[in-house]
Amino acid sequence: MDTRGLGPEGLVSSTIALGTAAFTGVYGAVSTRDCIRVIDVALDSGISLLDTADFYADGDIERLLGASVGARRPRLLMSTHGGLRIGRDGSPSIVDGRPDYLVQACEASLRRLGTDYIDLYYLSRVDPRVPVEESVGRLAELVAAGKIRHLGLYQASPDDLRRATAVHPISVQAVDYSLRDRAVEKGILVTAAELGVGVVAYRPLAQGLLAGATPRSCSAKVRRALHILEAEAAGLDIGMARLALAWLARCRNVVPAPSSHNPAHLEMDASAAGIRLPADVCARLDGVFAP
C-alpha cells in the first residue's frame, strides 16, 4: 500500500488507516475473534496506522490491540486519544484537558497497549475550561520524554489548531469527513493545509451510509445522491465503499480511517488505496455531494 506523510515531523502512514470504533459494538454485535481477524487483515493489507481511544469499551480495545500486534509492533503506528472521559454511570462524555489528567491518561494507555511509546497521541477534545496551550504543552513534555512521538488534535477549531501549533508541532488533525459530510472543507481543512498539518478522516463512510446501508429516515435528496454513487461505482466495478474511500484518498494529506468488525469489508476498504479515480467521476461526485 502507498504511504503518505502527515505533518511537519516525519510521520508516515499508510494511505488507509484502521479505526476501531466498530470493535466496541457500536455498529452491531462483534466478537473478539472477529476483531483480531480484522487487525490481521489490516496489517496483511499494508495498513500501518491503527487508531483507537482510551474510552473505547473502558480501555478494552487498547488492551486488545496491545495483545494482538505482538512482534509486529515495530512496523506499525498506534494512535490513541486522551482528554475525554465517560461518566461512571454511563452519562455523556466529559471533556478533561487538564495537564495532570492527560499525563495519567497517557500512562494508562501505554500500559494497556503494552508499549513504551505511542506513535500518535490525540487531544480528544479541546477543554473549554483549559487553554489549549496548557493541554498541548503538557503533551509536549511527554513527547520530550519519549512516551509520545507525534501529537494530534481531534475535532479542533481552526483557531485552536493555530494556538496548538504555536506550542508544539501538530502532525494530525482528525475530522469527521466523508463524501457525505464535507463541512470541514471550508474551515479546518484549509487551516490544516496552511499549517502543513496532516488529516485523518474518521467516519469516512458516514457510518455505513456510503457503503449502501441506507436508513429509512434518509431524505429523497440523499437517496438520489446515493443512487448516483452506486451507479458510478458500478461503472468502475469497485463498489460504493471503495469509491467513497478513493474519493477521500485522492487528497495527498488525507488518510481515511474506516472502522469495521468484518474482515472481508476491511480487506475491500484497504484496496481503495490503489484506486485512481478518473477526473470526470470526481467532478460528478463533487457536484452531487456538494459541501
pLDDT at residue 48 greater than cutoff 80: yes
Residues 6+ apart with CB under 8 A from 100: 138
Q: Over the stretch 96-116, which tens digit does the pLDDT of each residue have?
A: 999 999 999 999 999 999 999
Q: Given 56, 121, 122, 154, which residue is catalytic?
A: 56
pLDDT at residue 91 greater than cutoff 80: no
Q: Over the stretch 49-81, which tens digit does the pLDDT of each residue have?
A: 999 999 999 999 999 999 999 899 999 999 999
Give the bridge partners for 214, in sequence order: none
**Residue 216: its pLDDT value, please?**
76
pLDDT at residue 89 greater than cutoff 80: no
pLDDT at residue 232 greater than cutoff 70: yes
User: All domains of the chain, ordered by start, with CATH?
Assistant: 3-208+244-276 (3.20.20.100)
CA distances from 99 to 125, 196, 213 (A): 13, 26, 41
pLDDT at residue 88 greater than cutoff 80: no
- The grid cell for 132 is 489549549
User: What spatial distance separates the first Cα and last Cα of the chain, rounded to whole Å?
Assistant: 29
Assess whether 56 carries a catalytic annotation: yes
Give the Cα separation of 123 and 202 in Å (integer). 15
Measured torsion, CA atoms of residues 286, 154, 81, 253, in degrees rounded to the nearest 10: 50
**Residue 251: its pLDDT value, please?**
79
12-44: b (≥16 Cβ within 10 Å) or e = ebbbbbbbbbbbbeebeebeeebbbbbbebbbe
Please state the length of the chain: 291
Query: Can you say whether the dihedral through the CA atoms of 258, 239, 184, 282 is positive or negative?
Result: positive
Q: Over the stretch 110-135, which tens digit does the pLDDT of each residue have?
A: 999 999 999 999 999 999 999 999 99
Give the Cα separation of 170 and 70 in Å (integer). 28
Kindly state the average pLDDT of the residues 204-222.
Answer: 88
Q: How many CB atoms lie within 10 A of CB 224?
A: 12
Task: Tell me the percentage of the chain whose pLDDT exceeds 90.
Answer: 88
Where does residue 59 fall: left (phi above 0), alpha (psi -120 to 50 degrees), or beta otherwise?
A: left
Kindly state the average pLDDT of the residues 265-285.
Answer: 94
Q: Give yes or no for a contact between 118 and 78, defined as CB atoms under 8 angstroms apart.
A: yes
